[in-house]
Structure 1
Amino acid sequence: GRVVSLVHKYLRAGIMVNGMFEESYTGVPQGGPLSPLLGNVMLHECGCELESRGHRFVRYADDLMIFCKTKRAVERVLASITKFIEGKLFLKVNREKTVVAYVGDVKFLGYGFYINNGEGQLRVHPASVEKLKGKLRYLTGRSDGMSIQSRKERLNQLIRGWINYFKLANMKTLLERLDAWLRLRLRMVTWKRWKRVRTRFVNLKKAGIDAGKAWERANTRKGYWRVAGSWMLTRAMPNSLFEKAGYLSVHGCFANTL
């Protein structure tokens, strides 16, 4: 149709590189605002074709998953739909990113999948969990010059956004583990902030720790992470302390979305 024709003309319009015109052969750059729009326009016909064939599938812009019961069926559908996309839509299928895989091994928009009692269920893909933990590590680091208030606000903002995105997944146990890990990180960064022996001693005593044990811990040479996981810091900085200070619980934030 006319829209598809306009899209093809745009894709072949060329680009400017350092003030010089260059012809374009592979479409628009990923990450640009037009990339998902054009993906939706061009692959709408692909979705209609899959529906007419009775296939179960899910598509977001140019990310597409087709579900079949057997590997042989998947390979047959892959060959035919590739032929349709390249022959009728005149788009090139990226062979490197196109895979045949068991649904439990697939990552789609950050989500993973598993089968429970014969039904497909959503989970957070392990790579997405590690990406979140990387951001949390940065926000609970020591050498960034971040104020306590700024750290708290950015942590809460990150947690809210992440939970709102992944709230469709089954992740109760995962979030409980994440909460325990994040509380350790917060104890660690607080311990780092108490740089002087005297400061550590006074704060531990204020938290109800025996003076002798508080002095011993204040003078410890053990690593920050090991100290953060000790019974003494868990008692001095219980989860309720962070909640009272306004830090969000990952699991609590998820529970509020249900």
Structure 2
Amino acid sequence: TNITKYVEETLKLRVNRDKSGTFRPRDSVFLGYTFSKADCTRIVVAQKSVKRLWTKLHKIFNTARGTSLGWTIKTITPILRGWRNYYRLDDRKKYWEEMDKRIRHHLRKLIWIAWKKPKTRERNLVKLGIDPERAWKSSGNGRGAWWNSGQSHMNQAIKNDRFVRLGLYSLRFMEIR
């Protein structure tokens, strides 16, 4: 308050009371970063920034229905690469692994949706190495695309290296420059 008075009256500067104040480091956000709640010396990505990324990715995932998986990956890879390079100070391996996992989950969901009919799903699962009986049970289980894309039959059929071959950028591995 005394500092604010000094800045406003003596220095004749305007103080934005919404942005100015005293608070704990973990409650502050600066250029998309904040401090870890567990360890205040560790810089991490602010939750608001993550939310903004997911909003952008969800738009792409929703418009990607009916397009190729390659197109979707080609569209999201520059976004992921730029985002990860900007937030390279955040070195939490587990966090980035979870983000990668969630992105692959969305991509598997798009594949499940693209297969449309249970017969097509069964045929494709068998073609990708799933036991015929298991493929039959999985394809007609009546669950939604999101549920199925997270299950072992989809993880086993569509492995992570398929996404790597298509050029999906991994948030976990930082490029060294």
For the pair shown, which has the larger CA radius of gyration, 1 or 2?
A: 1
Q: Does 1:110 align with 2:110?
A: no
Q: Please say if residues 207 and 236 of structure 1, whose CA atoms lie closer than 8 Å, have aligned partners that are also in contact.
A: yes
**CA distance in structure 2 between the aligned counterparts of 1:172 and 1:79, rounded to whole angstroms:** 43
Shift of the 147–99 alpha-carbon distance from structure 1 to 2, 3 Å rule, reads farther
- Secondary structure of 2:35's counterpart equals strand
Q: Structure 1: any 5+ residue segments left out of the alignment? A: 1-77
Q: Does 1:123 align with 2:44?
A: yes
* Match in the other structure for 2:160: 239
* Match in the other structure for 1:198: 119
* Match in the other structure for 1:257: 176
Q: Higher relative CO (CA 8 A, sep ≥ 6), structure 1 or 2?
A: 2
Q: Shift of the alpha carbon at 1:128?
A: 1.6
Q: State the Cα RMSD in Å.
A: 2.4
Q: Shift of the alpha carbon at 1:230?
A: 0.9
- Given the two structures, how large is their TM-score scaled by the length of structure 1? 0.62
**CA distance in structure 2 between the aligned counterparts of 1:156 and 1:104, rounded to whole angstroms:** 30
**CA distance in structure 2 between the aligned counterparts of 1:108 and 1:248, rounded to whole angstroms:** 26
- Given the two structures, how large is their TM-score scaled by the length of structure 2? 0.87
- Secondary structure of 1:140's counterpart equals helix
Shift of the 116–219 alpha-carbon distance from structure 1 to 2, 3 Å rule, reads closer
Q: Structure 2: any 5+ residue segments left out of the alignment? A: none
The residue type paired with residue 131 of structure 1 is: R
Q: Please say if residues 142 and 192 of structure 1, whose CA atoms lie closer than 8 Å, have aligned partners that are also in contact.
A: no
* Match in the other structure for 1:140: 61
Q: Does 1:150 align with 2:71?
A: yes
Deviating beyond 4 angstroms after TM superposition, the runs of 4 or more aligned structure 1 residues are: 142-147
Q: Please say if residues 110 and 124 of structure 1, whose CA atoms lie closer than 8 Å, have aligned partners that are also in contact.
A: yes
Among the aligned pairs, what percent are the same residue? 32
**CA distance in structure 1 between the aligned counterparts of 2:154 and 2:37, rounded to whole angstroms:** 40
Q: Shift of the alpha carbon at 1:142?
A: 5.4
Q: Does 1:90 align with 2:9?
A: no
Q: Say which structure is richer in strand.
A: 1
* Match in the other structure for 1:178: 99
**CA distance in structure 1 between the aligned counterparts of 2:99 and 2:56, rounded to whole angstroms:** 13
- Equivalent residue in structure 2 for 1:101, among 10, 13, 23: 23
Q: Please say if residues 113 and 122 of structure 1, whose CA atoms lie closer than 8 Å, have aligned partners that are also in contact.
A: yes
Q: Shift of the alpha carbon at 1:242?
A: 0.9
Give the number of equivalent residue pairs. Answer: 177
Q: How does 1:210-225 map to 2 (within 5 A)?
A: 210-225=131-146
